[in-house]
Amino acid sequence: MGTTVAEIKDIKKSFGSNNVLAGLNLKVESGENLVVFGKSGSGKSVLIKCLVGLLEPDEGTAILFGENVSELKERELNLVRKKVGFLFQSAALYDSMTVRENLEFPLRDLKPKTNEETDALIIEALTNVGLADAIDKMPSELSGGMRKRVGLARTLILKPELILYDEPTTGLDPITSKEISHLILDIQKKYNTASIIITHDVECARITSNRMIIIKNGTAIAEGTFKELAESTDEWVRSFFK
Partner 1 sequence: MPTGLENKSETVAVSSSAYFLKPVKAFFEEVTAITRFAFRFFKELFMPRYELKELIRQSYLLGYKSLPLIAVTGFIMGIVLIIQSRPTLASFGAESWLPAMVSVSIIREMGPAIAALIFAGKVGSGIAAELASMKVTEQIDAMEVSGINPFKYIVVTRIIAATIMLPVLVILSDAISLYGGFLAVNLKGDISLHLYFSQVFQALAFTDIFPAFIKTIFFGFAVGLIGCYYGYNSAHGTEGVGKAANQSFVYGSISIFVLDMMAVQITSFFI
- What's the min distance (Å) between Cβ of 101 and partner 1? 11
Angle at 98 between CA 92 and CA 103, to 5 degrees: 65
Q: Beta strands of the chain (E only): which ranges?
A: 4-15, 18-29, 33-38, 59-64, 67-68, 84-87, 162-166, 194-198, 211-216, 219-224
Stretch that binds ligand ATP, among 3-11, 35-43, 120-128, 179-187 (CB under 6 A): 35-43
Exactly one of 1, 3, 15, 203 binds ligand ATP (CB under 6 A); that residue is: 15
CA dist 197 and 43 (Å) reads 14
Q: Which residues contact 181 (CB under 8 A, 6 or more apart)?
A: 168, 169, 201, 203, 204, 207, 208
- The smaller minimum CB distance to ligand ATP, of residues 92 and 123, is found at 92
Site string for ligand ATP, 45-84 (x = CB under 6 A): xx--------------------------------------
CA dist 211 and 53 (Å) reads 24
Exactly one of 42, 45, 193, 208 binds Mg ion (CB under 5 A); that residue is: 45
Q: How many CA atoms lie within 13 A of 141 on its CB side?
A: 10
- The smaller minimum CB distance to ligand ATP, of residues 40 and 233, is found at 40
Q: Applying CB under 6 A, does 40 fall inside the site for ligand ATP?
A: yes
Exactly one of 20, 28, 64, 93 binds partner 1 (CB under 8 A); that residue is: 93
Choose from partner 1, ligand ATP, Mg ion, none: what does 18 bind? Cβ within 5-8 Å by kind: ligand ATP
Count CB-CB contacts under 10 A for residue 1. Answer: 11
CA dist 61 and 50 (Å) reads 9
Residue type at 126? Answer: L
Stretch that binds partner 1, among 48-56, 177-185, 195-203, 219-227 (CB under 8 A): 48-56
Angle at 59 between CA 45 and CA 196, to 5 degrees: 30
Choose from ligand ATP, Mg ion, partner 1, none: what does 1 bind? Cβ within 5-8 Å by kind: none
Q: Applying CB under 6 A, does 44 fall inside the site for ligand ATP?
A: yes
Exactly one of 8, 11, 64, 81 binds partner 1 (CB under 8 A); that residue is: 81
| Alpha-helical segments (H) within 1-98 | 44-51, 74-81
Q: Contact positions toward ligand ATP, by CB under 6 A?
A: 15, 18, 20, 38, 40-46, 89
Q: Contact positions toward partner 1, by CB under 8 A?
A: 15, 49, 52, 54, 74, 78-79, 81-82, 84, 86, 88-90, 92-95, 105-106, 108-109, 158
